[in-house]
Structure 1
C-alpha cells in the first residue's frame, strides 16, 4: 500500500484565533499539529510570547515555534518542561491535544 503525506502550511499562525479551526472539518489532523495548537492556546492564555515560554521551559525559542507549527514533535521531557512553564500538568496538556483531535478534527 502506497502512503501519501500532505503538508499544510499556514500563512500567519499568529493571526489565527483559538476559536477558528486551522483546517476544515473532514481533514485528518496530525497529532503534532494538534499538540502545536494546544501549546499555542496554553501559551497565549498564560500571556507568554514564544521567547518567554522558551526561556521559562529552558528550551530554544525556535523549537517552540517548530512545535506550534507541527514541524517538530516534543519528547516527553520537553512536554514536562513546557507544562511546568505553563503552570499545568503534562497530562492536562496532552488532554488538550486529545480534545482538539476528538472535537475539532476527528474524521473516521
Structure 2
C-alpha cells in the first residue's frame, strides 16, 4: 500500500470519527491544538501526521487509535 493511500484512509477514518461524534473541524482543532487548515488537509489525505498528533486527535475524539488507523491486510508483526 502506498503512503498516499494510507494518508487518505487515515483522513477518511478521522473524518468519520469526527462526524460520528458531531464535532466540527474548528472544535476538534481547539481540542487537539491544531490549525484548521492543517486538519482539513489531513482529512483529505494531503498531509501526513506525526505520532504525537495522532494521539492528540484520538484523545480529543475520545476514541481508540484503532478507530483512526487504517487496517492493512497481510502485514505481519514479529
Superposition CA RMSD, Å: 1.6
Q: Which structure has the larger Rg over C-alpha atoms? A: 1
**1:37, CA displacement in angstroms?**
0.4
Question: Where does structure 1 lack aligned partners over 5 or more consecutive residues?
Answer: 1-28, 103-108
1:85 corresponds to 2:56: no
Question: With CA pairs under 8 Å and 6+ residues apart, which has the higher RCO, 1 or 2?
Answer: 2
C-alpha separation between the residues in 2 aligned to 1:44 and 1:62? Answer: 17
Question: Where does structure 2 lack aligned partners over 5 or more consecutive residues?
Answer: 74-78
Contact 1:51/1:61 (<8 A) preserved: yes
Aligned residues: 70
Query: Could you tell me the TM-score, scaled by structure 2's length?
Result: 0.81
**1:49, CA displacement in angstroms?**
1.0
Query: Could you tell me the TM-score, scaled by structure 1's length?
Result: 0.60
Higher helix share: 2
